[in-house]
Structure 1
């Protein structure tokens, strides 16, 4: 009798996370439907601190309903791409520039040298780099610098036996902790305190405690995952996604030590000079994505020529880099479409107004926690620290007086509700671009990051309760 050798069918997973495009289009569609049911309203816009436009908290009025129809909905993604053009093209350019650097060979040489040096103490890179990135962000803001950090540290961490998630986590978690805690961050803390009428950067000590605790949580969480990957690469959430990177960078033990040619040495020096100019421009002159993009184009050309690449090789390097980050660049624009729908339907201000009313009847301690959750929700549709401060703090500051929450605590609720969510929501443009540069699918990032976000949320709630209990001001 013939024996049945057929393999039993494997059970398919009951749930599979939809593609990020599907998620974002679904959010846009929900927002469009909401424009038919949520009352339209708006605040008057008035000049705010440093010439920025903010809102008059007492000026909310209902306006005529302007629902987003099918014809209008068809245009929201192209318009989102246009509105997010700065981030979209920054993503393209940084991808192109780093591909040119790879073609010069200097990245492989540096990775080879550092991987040999840190071979037996690689785990120390996690607390060192995370703390450095967090410190920079808490002093100058700009968590978008993670877009620069990731391609720099990714090859090294892959070579040392980790994965793309570890590299992305060090850069993204480090910068977002610094930004959220905002010890001396002018972009969220400074602006929110100005709007709220309290001394700029007052309360520094309490924010410093939050910074230390949040960095410690991030470091421990990342190290725990990194150790699992180091011990068994199959534990990596991106094992298949990283296959090409492992073949490219994990060769320090298989080949002789790489040595740089004279031209590569000069190209390395030029690269360091350009990064020094970048830091000087960001800190000293407030450079942002447009200025950094221009510098990166020039950097790719100059470093490529010094290293001996032809103009054709440089141009093709940029082209290949553009292709590698194409999906991430498009995701940025698709994510922006959600806000475009809410603005077209004139319900963005209604959402802010309604959420503000939710906490108006709560006792002070619950009011402080409620403000945190309000800011956390609003960050989904306003994924910008300064933008969210300009929209919400003119409402939350006087509201805090009414319910007995100190204004300093109200500012902290804004910082923590806005900050950590920057690397959670797919509507955050720079975050989605960073994931693509790292080669980490959004669904796999959420699987990794969500537990840490819950820890951070718990820390935020505890610190807000303490702040209100001690009447922190």
Structure 2
């Protein structure tokens, strides 16, 4: 045997999240040369002057009186109070105003600036993540996590999956109620060590947190960041169609729990069944320390620290739901709780500073991915091709029979979910264009809202421009292994969504 042949082949490693995003950036730049540039006029409400502002690309802004008559004249079927009360803050696409524009191709030299500008735009999310990481670093230093995990492992022995199922239910509720997405990042550092202590792997962690919360968000009932803003942009009440969404939530959540139970059972029987078995050592190194195996006493002080940590998450969810919090407020809340934990810790000033900075530094890669993903959206927006894609999609689904129309809408929103990964962003851009098309085929507009949610989230389980790569980076999961795990759940979501859409069309079509 030759020396060359005898050499051991290097194992193939799927490209990292950073490489995937860089490739997508190159593709996005290429698309700005191929897809025609174009734009809809955009409508915003000026809270200071109390007027509507119409933005037309390349032209001076125009103002119009903030009245319902103005909205009717512009064919924007949205109640005036949705603008004046601040419910709709982002620019709304004005129907029938699309026009093709001179090509606005981006260059390869625009890639680096877009990455920087995208990172700057994501500064609020990054500060939130750094603050969370710092607080967790301090808690790790106190030994509270390790002591608590040891106590939990003893109490749940033989019933480990109950913890996974409970987390799934809570995350699904969080998704359907307040749309936990970026906020879900906050749960990994606390829940991952728990799942490790219970004998599970990275896939179980991402399934119980990301998959369950995303399934809940896909079947949003009162989530203000998707179904509420989409319904407002469609000119209807968000309660329309809520029964179908609630039914989908129950079925979808049950599918997630059943799928994870099957996977967990296989994993317990044979640890090598793990889809991420090859990465297990690196994964465990991320979330365990040399102290993890020590039997630490679960003292009253450590219990109080974990209580404060848990309360900080309750405060975050409550603030988002009822006080209108966003990332700066959430970061400030976590930092406040971190101060109390520091005072309780008994650590020296140097130990606290070192632990906080170490915890924050471990999430630098995750934060940068969020910024780079924003860079992709900047390239598409500045190349003026996002509206062209939306216009072409609306033309494709117009005037077809109701059942075919709504299934075509589902497919369209799957594709648009890749172009515009923000649920609220896609809602205000697409609903004023897509929802009126439902009137032409004789079905209620809330059915289009359902198609928007179920189609977009089927794509967001995979879309590199969304939160998928952030999650995978945190848990050291290669993208190809994530695809292997998630595809049955994408099929489940689309099957449930398709059946519910066809039932709604059959029940309500004129």
Q: What's the TM-score, normalizing by structure 1?
A: 0.91
- Distance in 1 of aligned mates of 2:108 and 2:352: 44
1:30 and 2:27 matched:
yes
Shift in Å at residue 250 of structure 1? Answer: 11
Whether the 8 Å contact between 2:227 and 2:449 is mirrored in structure 1 is yes
Residue in 2 that maps onto 1:39: 36
Shift in Å at residue 290 of structure 1? Answer: 1.6
Whether the 8 Å contact between 1:355 and 1:374 is mirrored in structure 2 is yes
Aligned CA distance change for structure 1 residues 401 and 102 (closer, same or farther; 3 Å): same
SS at structure 2 position matched to 1:162: coil
Residue in 2 that maps onto 1:469: 506
- Distance in 2 of aligned mates of 1:100 and 1:22: 32
Aligned CA distance change for structure 1 residues 456 and 100 (closer, same or farther; 3 Å): same
**CA root-mean-square deviation:** 2.7
Shift in Å at residue 31 of structure 1? Answer: 1.6
CA deviation profile, 1:73-106 (whole Å, cap 9, x unmatched): 3312112211222223323332222222111111
1:366 and 2:363 matched:
no
Whether the 8 Å contact between 1:95 and 1:325 is mirrored in structure 2 is yes
Aligned CA distance change for structure 1 residues 4 and 338 (closer, same or farther; 3 Å): closer
1:301 and 2:298 matched:
no
Whether the 8 Å contact between 2:139 and 2:305 is mirrored in structure 1 is no
Aligned CA distance change for structure 1 residues 234 and 200 (closer, same or farther; 3 Å): same
- Distance in 1 of aligned mates of 2:509 and 2:331: 41
1:151 and 2:148 matched:
no
Residue in 2 that maps onto 1:345: 383
SS at structure 1 position matched to 2:43: strand
- Distance in 2 of aligned mates of 1:108 and 1:245: 17
Give the gaps of 5 or more residues in structure 1: none
Which aligned pairs between 1:122-133 and structure 2 lie closer than 5 A? Answer: 122-133=160-171
Residue in 2 that maps onto 1:201: 239
Residue in 2 that maps onto 1:422: 460
Which aligned pairs between 1:276-287 and structure 2 lie closer than 5 A? Answer: 276-287=314-325
Shift in Å at residue 244 of structure 1? Answer: 5.8
Between 1:106-115 and 1:318-327, the stretch displaced more is 318-327
Shift in Å at residue 237 of structure 1? Answer: 2.3
- Distance in 2 of aligned mates of 1:472 and 1:133: 34
1:18 and 2:56 matched:
no
- Distance in 2 of aligned mates of 1:122 and 1:213: 23
Whether the 8 Å contact between 2:415 and 2:459 is mirrored in structure 1 is no
Aligned CA distance change for structure 1 residues 156 and 472 (closer, same or farther; 3 Å): farther
Q: What's the TM-score, normalizing by structure 2?
A: 0.85
Aligned CA distance change for structure 1 residues 245 and 69 (closer, same or farther; 3 Å): closer
Which aligned pairs between 1:402-417 and structure 2 lie closer than 5 A? Answer: 402-417=440-455
CA deviation profile, 1:312-358 (whole Å, cap 9, x unmatched): 22222222223322222121122222111111111111111111111
Number of equivalenced pairs: 468
Whether the 8 Å contact between 1:159 and 1:250 is mirrored in structure 2 is no
1:191 and 2:209 matched:
no
Between 1:196-205 and 1:164-173, the stretch displaced more is 196-205
